[in-house]
Each structure stands twice: as structure tokens, then as C-alpha cells.
Amino acid sequence: MNFAIITGADGGMGTEETRAVAEAGYHVIMACFCTKKAQPVCDKLRAETGNQNIEVIGIDLANLASVRAFADEVSLRISAAATPGSNPYLELLMNNAGTMETGRHCTVDGLERTVSVNYVGPYLLTRLLLPLMAKGSRIVNMASCVYAIGHLDFPDFFERGRKGSFWRIPIYSNTKLAITLFTIDLAERLRDRGITVNAVDPGVVSTEIIRMQMFFDPLTDLVFRPCIRTPRQGAETAIRLLLDDDKAGLTAHFWRTNRIIDIGDKYYHHPKMQQLWTDTERIVMPFLK
């Protein structure tokens, strides 16, 4: 039995992804910020799927030491699961967790919190888990169509999210551009290993992340929320990328509603892709040693 990791697995889409992967027979690790909140979700999914190999391990993507500790714990779990004639590995990694902060918050690592949770944390986690993967492993990163309005200005991106004053939507968009470029770059670096990396846009999904914490939220809920996707609908394309046989071997793509979206050559040869990789490596290097 091989392993799967879902970050933010106790949220709306994360729960649906965890359910689908558990039903497919994987040993699923729910990587969650609040283990107390996640454990009842885990218990419910065990009962519903009949898969008892679902567990919760805490992770704080806004704390790079926590990301390293999580990866070390996963390595121990996979090693402990090995038996004579059986060498389990990490087959599926779903970088699902995300945030859109309502104000500027600096992490212990000196990063803007949205940037850490949506990009730097998943980057480090993925880098740390690569030694546990094998040919056929799949990595899926949760992106968004708002990558198209993202801009990367260094070092402002890491420290403040953007140039100028705090504004949550542009900063969120910048993180989604970063995770999209990371997806493309990493996919090419891993092509010879047979590990695939794809990004998925779930569309506008009825989750807490779309709340603006503003006076108009009740009106938005009444008028807008019934028209958008349910968590299951939002998670569907990611689930297909994780599990479908016909998706095996497909890599470096941006997906929406189970289709490859042509995002244009400018993103596959983005002028800041190399600097993004280099600067991110510099930030996470102490945690890779």
C-alpha cells in the first residue's frame, strides 16, 4: 500500500480529495494546521470509506521548521511500513492548502503569511518529499485562474507579497502565479525521473477562503454562493489528476474542469521563473540540509 499526502485535508476540497484517495486504497496522511479540528474529519472518513489507513499529522506551512518536521515524520512512517518484499513510497502529493490573509502578517521566517502558506511552504514540502517518491508518483498543486493577474517583484514578493500597500487579492494572485511557475519548472526537472507535476484551477468554490470579512459578505452569501461550485465539484479535476490512469505521464500542464488549459508560452518561458527558483532555494536551503 503506497502513501498519499493531502495538505489542508480537513477543508472542503481537501476532505473530498482525501475521501477519493482513501477509497482508492491509499494510506492517506492528512497534513493539517489544526489537528484537533482535523481528527473528527479523519474519523468520519475512516468510517465512510472503510479505509482505516487514514491519519492526521500536523503541519504549519507558515513555519518552515514545521514543514521540515512534518517531512521527517512522513519519512519515518513510510520506512516503518516497509516489509520484506514491500517497499512503499509516496505516490501522491496534493498541495491543496491555501489562505488569503485579511492583513499583512509576517511569519517567523520573515515571509508574508499568504506567500508562505500558498507557495514557499508547499515548495519546501515538495522538495523534502521528493526522495520518498518513485517513478509514477504524481504531484498536484492547487493554482487559480488569478495567476494571470499576478506579478513577481523581488524581494517584495517574499517579504510583503507585493510592492506597495497590502491588498489581499493581488498578493493571493502573486502566490498563484508563483505556484504555477514552480509547477512548470519542477515538472521539467523531474521529467527524467517519471514523476509528474501539474497545476489545477478549481474555479470559484464555496469555501471559507472566498470570504472577504467585509460588510457585504452576508449579501454575497445570499446571492453569489448558491451559483458557485461545491467543494466536490471544485476538487474533481484534482482527484482525476491524482487517480485516473489516462492522466499518468501527463506533466507540466495547467488544468481546469478536467481539461488542459493553454496558458501560453509566456508562462512556460517566464522571465522570472529562474529567479523565483533561485531565490526560493536560498530561503529554504537551511531546511533542506
> How far is 33 from 43, CA to CA, in rounded Å?
17
- Is 53 within a domain? yes
What pLDDT is attached to residue 7?
A: 98
**Domain range for 146:** 3-203+234-288
- Is 210 within a domain? no
SS3 of 288, please?
A: helix
Q: Write down the residue that cell numbers 525521473 correspond to.
A: 193
**Over the stretch 38-89, which tens digit does the pLDDT of each residue have?**
999 999 999 999 999 999 999 999 999 999 999 999 999 999 999 998 999 9
- Is 220 within a domain? no
- Tell me the whole-structure pTM to 2 decimals: 0.92
Q: Residue 210 pLDDT more than 80? A: no
- Is 186 within a domain? yes
223 falls in which pLDDT band (50, 70, 90)? very low
219 falls in which pLDDT band (50, 70, 90)? very low
Percentage with pLDDT > 90 across the chain: 87
- Is 219 within a domain? no
Catalytic residue flag (residue 172): yes
Set 119, 172, 267, 268: catalytic member? 172
> How far is 171 from 190, CA to CA, in rounded Å?
28
**Over the stretch 189-198, which tens digit does the pLDDT of each residue have?**
999 999 999 9
Could you give the strand order of the β-sheet that contains 259-261, starting from the edge strand earlier in sequence?
54-58, 27-32, 3-7, 90-95, 138-142, 196-201, 254-256, 259-261
- Is 85 within a domain? yes
Measured in whole angstroms, how far is the alpha carbon of residue 95 from the centre of its chain?
Answer: 2
Rg (CA), the chain: 18
List the CATH number of the domain containing 284: 3.40.50.720
- Is 133 within a domain? yes
- Is 226 within a domain? no
**Over the stretch 164-182, which tens digit does the pLDDT of each residue have?**
999 999 999 999 999 999 9
What pLDDT is attached to residue 232?
A: 83
Count of domains observed in the chain:
1
Q: CB neighbours of 9 closer than 8 A, spacing ≥ 6?
A: 15, 17, 18, 28, 30, 31, 32, 38, 41, 56, 96
